[in-house]
Every structure is written in C-alpha cells, then in structure tokens.
Amino acid sequence: MAKIALTIAGSDSGGGAGIQADLKAMSALGVYGASVITAITAQNTQAVTAVHGVPLDVVTAQIDAVLSDLDVGAIKIGMLATPEIITCVADGLSGYKGPVVLDPVMIAKSGDALLAEEAVATLRDVLLPRATLLTPNLPEAACLLDAPVSSHHDEMIAQGKALCDLGASAVLVKGGHAEGEICHDLLIAGDDILGEYSAPRRNTKNTHGTGCTLSSSVAAGLAKGLALPEAVREAHEYLQGAIAVADDLKIGHGHGPVHHFHRVWPA
C-alpha cells in the first residue's frame, strides 16, 4: 500500500512553494500526497499580490475528509496566516496520533508577509507543542522566541533548545540566512543534537519554496517509517539536488523555484 503524507498549507499560484511544492516533493520521494488548503495566494516569483483565507468550516471539512478515509503516515503544516486558522487546524488534528512537521511560514521569498503579526503567539502557544519537528529558519526562530536573529553556531543551538523548551519534540534550525560558504542545519531534541546537515552555499536566486520543500520532504520520510534523523538527512540531500539545478528551470523573472523532479527529468 502506498505511504501517504498530508500537507496543510496555502496554495501558491506560481507553483514553486506551498501546497504545490509540497505535493511535488512528496511525489518525487515516492509518497502519495494529500492536501488541505488554508489560503489561496495570488503569487509568482516576484510578489504575493493577494491572499484569501479559506473559510474555517471548509478547512475543518478538508481535514475531516482526509483523516477519516486516508491512512496518513505524517502531516506537514505550512502557511496558516491567521490566529483563527491556526486554532482551527489544531482542533482538527486533536485526534491525530502520527508525526507532525510544522514549518512556521512567516515571509515569502519575495519579502511579503504570509503570517499576521498577531498570529505568531497563537502559533507558538497552540501548534508548536504539537510538533514532532519544527523547521524554522533563523529569522523565524528569533521571531518565535522574541529574540535577536542568531549570528553563530552556539546561538543556533541555544535557540533550538529554547524552542524545544516551548514544547516542540525536536527542532531543525535552518542556517540558510547565516553567513559563510557552508550552510549548516542543526537537528536538536531537548538538550541533544541529533544531527548536523551541511552543504556548500550556492550562488543562486532560485530558492523559492525551499522551506516548504524541506519540511514536506521530511514528512514524506516519516510517512515511509524513517527515523527522524534519517528523514531529515534524506530530505536535506533531496533539496540540495533540487537547488543545484534550479537555475536550469528558468521559471519566472524573480526568485524561481527549485527543481523538484530533478531525479526524474532534466531541466
């Protein structure tokens, strides 16, 4: 039987991030992807020009429809936009016992806000404790902690541990916003560092959807039964391959997407 993962996130009309990126990544990694759409964005590689939140009863109905019929092995949560949608999703998952990967989506690659300022506290208090894995980049980790953005390795570790103290079972602190030729991601659970995943920093502007792709890839690995460090390692290697050939896609005129199907067809 096919392994199934569910993505709960916003739709990206440009196809590079959000629900679209999640389903592409899950498919590329051999997992059947189901979806719950929380918001519709008018978005391309250059800007987000409109956001429409899906009515709460429709979000709930989507969650109920999927979980009542499909054997979902893992869930990825992305863009939630408002406190009301965050609470709605938390309530909808109250009976789900499987792993949950929470990507605290706040800002699009274009710089446009995807999470209302007043929703940060709700995300931290209501959903973060439900997360098997939280996947913040450095600005997102700082925002959740109301702290300065970490500037070095030890601060990344400290903020990862602080986020675990808030209730997340594990945190993958992503170092893409840091300086240096090598990018380091740290997997932290409580006081333990479960893994460090490093890759050369690539000189490309085509990184739209990297956070969505990584978190949904981890969810795909968990749905296949991989242990968390192995799921993160598989996701990290897959994403690095997708970034390496992103320039070949030539999609749009701004921050283009990574190549989700780089293992299947060349750009």
Provide the annotated active-site residues: 174, 207, 209-212
Backbone angles phi, psi at 205, to 5 degrees: -95, -5
Q: Extract the tokens encoding 47.
A: 């800007």
Burial 51-60 (b: 16+ CB within 10 A, else e): bebbebeebe
Q: What span, in angstroms and rounded, lies between the C-alpha atoms of 172 and 110? A: 23
Run of H or E including 139: helix 138-145
Q: Name the E strands within the chain.
A: 4-12, 32-43, 48-53, 74-77, 100-102, 133-134, 171-174, 182-189, 192-200
Contact 223, 31 (CB under 8 A): yes
Place of tokens 């993160």: 232
Contact 197, 236 (CB under 8 A): yes
